[in-house]
């Protein structure tokens, strides 16, 4: 898909829809759409229209998720909501301004990801797009603090068991992802599963995001066909996400997506080294 008047109008609408269903919910829907596309492709169905207009435009995180995130940052200045709370629908605001900002976020995301694709950005174009829109929201709409001092304190403490748990979890998930990516040939299959599983975050907010592991492990497996590299990069993605979330996202006014940061940094290494 390319930048056309039609796709830009669709991106505007998708960003507005994101304000209604919320950032997390929009990502969950994207995950199920990705699984539907993968199953259809593996069964031999022609998924061209679905992939172009549904999966990679309307529900694309660079579009709908960005719209919801930017709208949440705006809504926090005028309504009873935290700017980093992307798990809530913004329909309760009944504010046309919130919808308009969400539409702007969707359009900006669509333009940025297309520009990044055209210039041949040597990393995950979706991740850099989500990061840039998040940074824009933090700078223009955010309230201090822009970093979490408690997160820094946590990182300086002795949390050996905590970090061992994170590493072990990432190893297991990366190995499983590597197997299915190698067998299916679909680099983003784990990413789609991770996105869909965030449905459980609405039952328990402590349910962890895992797409920073599965996407990175998928990239590494496709690039190297080596499960060890997939595991190492999956662990790196997990740790980078956790550290960034603690210091620069939690209680920091607006949402800058930690998984996007981890995916971006790891993809830059994988795409340019292997």
What would the pLDDT profile of 184-203 be if each residue is shown by its tens digit? Answer: 999 999 999 999 999 999 99
pLDDT at 9 over 70: yes
> What's the CA gap between 249 and 117, in Å, rounded?
27
- Which two tokens mark 208? 């962890």
**Cβ distance 236 to 216 under 8 Å?**
yes
Domain ranges of the chain: 5-273
pLDDT tens per residue across span 200-224: 999 998 999 999 999 999 999 999 9
80 pLDDT band, cuts 50/70/90, is confident
Tally of CB atoms within 10 A around 94: 9
Annotate 61-86 with DSSP letters as a single string: IIIIIHHHHHHHHHHTTTSSS-TT-T
Nearest to 109 by CA among 61, 74, 142, 75: 61
> What's the CA gap between 257 and 237, in Å, rounded?
13
**Cβ distance 270 to 229 under 8 Å?**
no
pLDDT tens per residue across span 21-63: 999 999 999 999 999 999 998 899 999 999 999 999 999 999 9
1 pLDDT band, cuts 50/70/90, is low
> What's the CA gap between 138 and 145, in Å, rounded?
10
């Amino acid at each position: 898909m390319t930048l056309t008047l039609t796709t830009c109008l669709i991106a505007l609408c998708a960003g507005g829809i994101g304000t209604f269903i919320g950032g997390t919910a929009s990502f969950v829907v994207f995950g199920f759409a990705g699984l539907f596309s993968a199953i259809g492709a593996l069964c031999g169905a022609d998924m061209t229209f679905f992939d172009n207009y549904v999966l990679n435009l309307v529900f694309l995180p660079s579009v709908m998720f960005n719209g919801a995130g930017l709208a949440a940052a705006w809504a926090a200045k005028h309504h009873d909501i935290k700017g980093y709370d992307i798990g809530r629908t913004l329909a309760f605001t009944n504010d046309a301004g919130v919808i308009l900002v969400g539409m702007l976020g969707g359009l900006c995301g669509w333009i940025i990801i297309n520009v990044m694709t055209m210039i041949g950005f040597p990393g995950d174009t979706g991740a850099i797009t989500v990061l840039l829109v998040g940074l824009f929201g933090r700078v223009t709409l955010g309230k201090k603090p822009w970093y979490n001092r408690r997160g820094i304190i946590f990182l300086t403490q002795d949390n050996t068991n905590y970090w061992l748990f994170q590493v072990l979890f990432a190893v297991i998930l990366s190995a499983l992802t590597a197997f299915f990516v190698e067998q299916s040939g679909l680099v983003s299959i784990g990413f789609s599963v991770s996105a869909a599983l965030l449905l459980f975050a609405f039952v328990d907010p402590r349910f962890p995001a895992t797409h920073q592991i599965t996407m990175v492990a998928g990239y590494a497996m496709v690039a190297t066909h080596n499960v060890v590299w997939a595991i190492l990069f999956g662990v790196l993605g997990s740790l980078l996400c956790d550290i960034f979330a603690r210091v620069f996202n939690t209680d920091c006014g607006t949402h800058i997506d930690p998984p996007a940061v981890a995916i971006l940094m790891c993809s830059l290494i994988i795409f340019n080294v292997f």
